[in-house]
Amino acid sequence: MSAEKAKKPSDISIVLCGQAGQGVQTVERLLMRIGRLAGYNAFATKEYMSRVRGGLNSTQIRFSDKPVRAFIDRTDILVPLEKGAIEHLGKRVSDETLVIGSAEALGDRSGSANNFVEVPFVQIAEEAGGKVYANTVAVGVLSGLLGITLETAGGYLKTFFAGKSDDVIDGNVQALGKGHAIGTGLAESDQTDFAICPGSDVEGQILINGAEAVGLGAIAGGCDFVSSYPMSPSTGVLVFLARHGREFDLIAEQAEDEIAAVNMALGAWYAGARAMVTTSGGGLALMTEGLSLAGMIESPLVVHLAQRPGPATGLPTRTEQGDLDLALYAGHGEFPRIILAPGTICEAIDLTTRAFDLSDRFQVPVFVLTDQYFMDSYYNLVPPDLSDVEVARHVVETESGYKRYQITENGLSPRGIPGFGKGLVCVDSDEHDEGGHITEDMEVRVRMTDKRLKKLDGVKDDVIEPTLIGPEDSDSIVVCWGSTRHIVEEAVASLGRDDTAVLHFGQVYPLPGRTKELLGGVKKVIVVEGNATGQFARILKIHADIDVDHKILKYDGLPFAADTLARKLQEIL
């Protein structure tokens, strides 16, 4: 082994690409957990076509000796499971990429260069008992190539297939062993050494994705009712809450459409529950009348909006940050709202939890903005401690003569619920007086409008401050929001500059009061966001009078890549 090979890498990027239904996700699941058992920090994300079968989908897995939490374009190892996979990935495959696949998947590249290695997965699987084990062979090859012991890989494999028959378990174990021998042989040859050192602090950590994080945050926030119509990429939250509904005394209702879903949620809040809807852009478009109803009746409402490219159906399984304007302006008439956009798994739990309290306390709709990339990405982290989270219910026991919309100094009227006290809780979608009764009195109209908007002052006093990563006196600040946080952090860190910081906004509306202070005197403000028009940059200008010097925008349906973004930032800086 050469001296160059003896130096172990610290970060490996593996990409698997095949048809929908071909088992790419099974390989990902097995390999991610085997890697975790081997002590690696792990990250995975996926891109996929809008079809149940066929097409080409890919998954990226990164293993590292340090926390790794962002998508990159670089591909160190590619396993194409289908013809056309290499072309599908395009520039993500370079001359340095080790490509391992069957002769059919490699095409005429088989044997043409040292970094194209033919491995007949199906043939080897049949030797182990059937072609159904082909994906397990691939897991074995990659485990061996990464230096993961057969004992570690085989131990998890037996756990994974514990519910299957002995014949199925034995067949998978044999297939794994045959693949592992090939991978070990490649590692011992003149191929690049892909064995990385285990992380020092990963024991006891868990793997969790964005959808699960939002679901956990909802449960921690006291959510006891979720009503939604399935729509990618938001459906994972509905599935998670439905799966754990009995454990947490939570009702998950799959409504007949989005209009029914939002009205069910409003009815639940009126009755005293804490409710959420989870949807995507097209679904929210149908919910806007219900959203406006929430504004008029001053009902709390938590909306999880998992963004995808539009307009219309757009790219239904891809990612984008294109619905910020929709969340900001959805619903006719003028009424306050809060928009949160978590950038990390832990932040998704925290901000979703806080969304329920903010919505309940200020009696306004609160959005939690994510996107397909965030929903489908996951990595290892210390299990969050939610034991000290307290759910404060902001309702009052009503007295006789109770007025649901009583005029107050801060615009917040005591919120009662039917049956809790002696008062009548009257709400109406028409303009109404303090008692909730329909009115066309113009002076009352003005007072009620002012009252509703007054609540925004209280919201501004209780904002979630942005996170600054780097020195506060930096010459340049790279601004991001939502799911791009880890990507931008890694990109900026890789530049090794001490004059550049990252500012991530987890609350994008209303803007935190320190926004002007943090960005006003900076020489270069660079905004990174996944849409075509710079929607957050526009909010910075309108609401904080911040002039953005450079915008880096992406709207092809794929996430930013940390390594590619770093090169673009270097050109600007």
Distance CA 353, CA 222 (A): 8
State residue 1's pLDDT score.
37
Using alpha carbons, list the distances in angstroms from residue 213 to 85, 142, 380, 486: 31, 29, 12, 16
Distance CA 220, CA 216 (A): 6
State residue 110's pLDDT score.
53
Return the closest-CA partner of residue 251 out of 213, 220, 219.
Answer: 219
Tell me the residue type at 83: K
DSSP string, 235-248: HHHHHHHHHTTTTT
Return the closest-CA partner of residue 483 out of 258, 305, 230.
Answer: 305
Distance CA 264, CA 86 (A): 47
Distance CA 198, CA 35 (A): 9
> Strand 467-469 and strand 500-505: pairing?
antiparallel
Distance CA 433, CA 356 (A): 27
Instruction: Enumerate domains of the chain plus CATH numbers.
Output: 8-188 (3.40.920.10), 207-381 (3.40.50.970), 467-572 (3.40.50.11610)
- Dihedral of CA atoms 566, 567, 568, 571 in degrees, nearest 10, equals 120
Partners of 226 in the β-ladder: 252, 276
State residue 6's pLDDT score.
47
Q: pTM for the complete prediction? A: 0.95
State residue 193's pLDDT score.
76
Measured in whole angstroms, how far is the alpha carbon of residue 193 from the centre of its chain? 32
State residue 127's pLDDT score.
93
| Phi and psi at residue 43, to the nearest 5° | -145, 145
State residue 113's pLDDT score.
56
Print pLDDT tens along the chain (573 aa).
Answer: 344 444 567 899 999 999 988 889 999 999 999 999 999 999 999 999 998 888 899 999 999 999 999 999 999 999 999 999 999 999 999 999 999 999 999 987 654 556 899 999 999 999 999 999 999 999 999 999 999 999 999 999 999 999 999 999 999 999 999 999 999 999 888 656 788 888 778 888 999 999 999 999 999 999 999 999 999 999 999 999 999 999 999 999 999 999 999 999 999 999 999 999 999 999 999 999 999 999 999 999 999 999 999 999 999 999 999 999 999 999 999 999 999 999 999 999 999 999 999 999 999 999 999 999 999 999 999 999 888 888 999 999 999 999 999 999 999 999 999 999 999 999 999 999 999 999 999 999 999 999 999 999 999 888 999 999 999 899 999 999 999 999 999 999 999 999 999 999 999 999 998 999 999 989 999 999 999 999 999 999 999 999 999 999 999 999 999 999 999 999 999
State residue 188's pLDDT score.
86
